[in-house]
């Protein structure tokens, strides 16, 4: 009987080791798959971050241009240009040459 009990115990130990090994391998597989998914997500987020940073730079440049244009519209030169182009006004004694078309 002692031999049978020892055999049964060894068999149970092998079965337990097999189950533990299977669980560990499955966990490693899950961790590996999730790791790959996270790397892909990180790459997507990095691309998105770079695109957003470029957009921020463009918008900051545009904002600076708008600010400069705002300052320009407050100058005498701007007022003169608009008066000449839109209203056709000229200074006294100024001669305007137009192309014949």
Q: What is the pLDDT of residue 1?
A: 59
| Structural tokens at position 31 | 């961790």
Helix ranges, the chain (H)? 2-73, 76-85
| Model-wide pTM > 0.85 | no
What is the DSSP-derived secondary structure letter of residue 87?
Answer: T
- pLDDT at residue 72 above 70? yes
Q: What is the pLDDT of residue 3?
A: 67
What is the DSSP-derived secondary structure letter of residue 86?
Answer: T
pLDDT single digits (tens) 25-55: 999 999 999 999 999 999 999 999 999 999 9
Query: Higher-confidence residue: 17 or 99?
Result: 17
Domain layout of the chain by residue ranges: 2-85
The span from the CA of 68 to the CA of 64, in Å, is 6
């Amino acid at each position: 009987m002692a031999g049978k009990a020892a055999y049964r115990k060894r068999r149970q130990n092998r079965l337990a080791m097999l189950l533990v090994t299977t669980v560990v391998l499955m966990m490693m597989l899950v961790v590996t798959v999730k790791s790959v998914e996270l790397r892909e997500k990180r790459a997507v987020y990095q691309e998105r971050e770079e695109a957003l940073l470029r957009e921020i730079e463009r918008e900051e440049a545009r904002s600076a241009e708008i600010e400069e244009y705002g300052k320009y519209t407050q100058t005498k030169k701007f007022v003169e240009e608009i008066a000449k182009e839109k209203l056709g006004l000229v200074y006294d004694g100024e001669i305007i040459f137009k192309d014949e078309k």
